[in-house]
Structure 1
Amino acid sequence: MANYGMAFDYKLCINCHACEVACKEENGIDLGAKNHRLWIQEDGKVEGDFWNLKRDKVEFMQMQCQECEDAPCLKACPNGAIYRDDNGIVRLHKNLCDLTMACMSACPYDARYVDEKNHITDKCIFCADTRLARGETTTACQITCPAKLRYFGDLDDETSEISQILKARKHFTLKPELGTKPKLFYLE
């Protein structure tokens, strides 16, 4: 099948949160829910009072499951509920999840959360249950982003847009020292 990954031209982010809203809508997560499959992390600082604010250079980082090739959450699950599908996506057998939350503790990216509606741990799965299952080749967050900063596709296909962008541009992964081999890339 495929080996899906995602790249972010993160410096283009305008912090509009359209990706978060699209993700929640696509995956049946309540819009007001504090839990999420992806989120925007703001790095930088704001100083001053209401009338005289000063901001350092602020960057917005797109955060979600890093789809690790060596996934700590998969190893930590005591029930075998977590598995890797044919597309290389780390998934969950929902009927086997008993909320031990060992996967949440094991994830160094804080990408898993408790879905209180379905009583399972959850995370981004690149719209595998919805868009990919219908044969679509984009994620909800990717097509909704007004800055078009997300690239999604098959990392094993040398002609895919993500493979081409990763060849052409310098990039990095988060916490490479952990050896999890993330399949999310941040473009410099």
Structure 2
Amino acid sequence: MIRPEEIKLSSEENGKWGMVIDQDICTGCQACVAACAMENNISFVGEEDSGYGRAMHWIRIERFWEGEYPEVKMTPQQPMLCQQCGHATCEPVCPAFATVHSQAEQLNLQVYNRCVGTRYCANNCPYQVRAFNWRDYQRPEPLSNQLNPDVTVRRMGVMEKCTFCIQRIHKAQDQAKAEGREVQDGEFTTACAQACPASAIVFGRVDNPESLVSQLAHKGHGVKHLEELGTLPNVTYFKGG
């Protein structure tokens, strides 16, 4: 049986990962969306399934408009992905324990070979960031050559979502362990943050006060999306007045 103090030590040792997104400098170019799809082997669903609302994205750009025509202006774009909640509402409703919380990385994980596709987690997620895999989508040649060997290729009938590129986290941790050191701030980042041309996305260990993401997250003017729900999201948004 795992004692509470052991869980705390494990969390402090391996770190807690978080993200800061500056909406004021986000241009809405969707480079993050494309990079996420390439890194995580996300299928192209095609025009027909997209028309039925079955698009497969782990991150999306939300646009909001204010005012009345012709005085209409767009508010800052909001990249929306899994918030990696500390008190995730998707976890307790899964009957197969496919959506679980990692005590080591403090991330909300998705175990694909446990998932039976009930979609309870998607219905209980206030951020609507989970996607259901409706089909075994085809990857005609040469698209199959782009598959990332570090990421599972999912089959139909399972739920998918952002993982904060956990394969990159593990790779960096293994490299640091082999060299007998800690993972350095900025040593690696997620695919979306790496591809952002405006550097609007910053990723790292929020439990390390020396890290850039921690300093940004604790500036005081950042907000958590739907924070009033008590889900304890690990993504902080900056938005000007």
Q: TM-score, with normalisation over the residues of structure 1?
A: 0.90
Return the offset for 1:30.
Answer: 2.8
Amino acid at match of 1:89: L
Residue of structure 2 equivalent to 1:164: 215
Aligned residue for 2:36, secondary structure, equals helix
**Equivalent AA in structure 1 for residue 39 of structure 2:** E
**Aligned equivalent of 2:201:** 150
Q: Which runs of 5+ in 1 are unaligned?
A: none
Q: Which amino acid aligns with 2:19?
A: M
Q: 1:83 maps to what in 2?
A: 100
**Higher Cα radius of gyration:** 2
- 2:26 maps to 1:13: yes
Whether the 8 Å contact between 1:44 and 1:59 is mirrored in structure 2 is: no
Asked if 1:4 is matched to 2:22, the reply is no
Instruction: Give per-residue Cα distances to partners, 1:82-109, cap 9 Å, x unaligned.
Output: 1122211111121110001110111010
User: Deviations 1:3-35 (Å, cap 9, x if unpaired)?
Assistant: 111110111111111000000000111345621
1 or 2, which has the higher strand percentage? 1
| Percent identical residues | 31
Aligned residues: 183
For residues 167 and 104 of structure 1, what CA distance do their matches in structure 2 show? 30
Cα gap change, 1:95/1:30 in structure 2, threshold over 3 Å: closer, same or farther? closer
In structure 2, do the counterparts of structure 1 residues 110 and 35 end up closer, same or farther at CA, with 3 Å as the change threshold?
A: same
Task: In structure 2, list runs of 5 or more residues that go unmatched.
Answer: 1-13, 47-54, 137-154, 173-186
Correspondent of 1:134 among 171, 174, 189: 171
Match of 1:186 in 2: 237
Among 85, 92, 108, the alignment partner of 1:68 is 85
1:169–1:187 contact (8 Å) kept in structure 2:
no
Q: Residue 228 of structure 2 aligns to a residue in which SS? A: helix
- CA 1:37 to 1:61, structure 2 compared with 1: closer, same or farther past 3 Å? same
- Give the whole-Å Cα distance in 1 for the aligned partners of 2:112 and 2:97: 11
Match of 2:111 among 93, 103, 112: 93
**1:29-44 residue pairs with structure 2 within 5 A?**
29-31=42-44, 34-44=55-65
Q: In 1, distance between residues paired with 2:90 and 2:123? A: 8
Alignment TM-score, normalising by the size of structure 2: 0.71
SS at the partner of 1:180? coil
d(CA) in 2 for partners of 1:168 and 1:90?
Answer: 25
109-118 vs 20-29, which deviates more? 109-118
Check the 8 A contact 2:44/2:56 in 1, yes or no: no
For residues 51-95 of structure 1, give each alpha carbon's deviation from its aligned partner in whole angstroms, at most 9, with x where no partner exists: xx7641432001011111000001111111111222111111211
Moved over 4 A (4+): 45-48
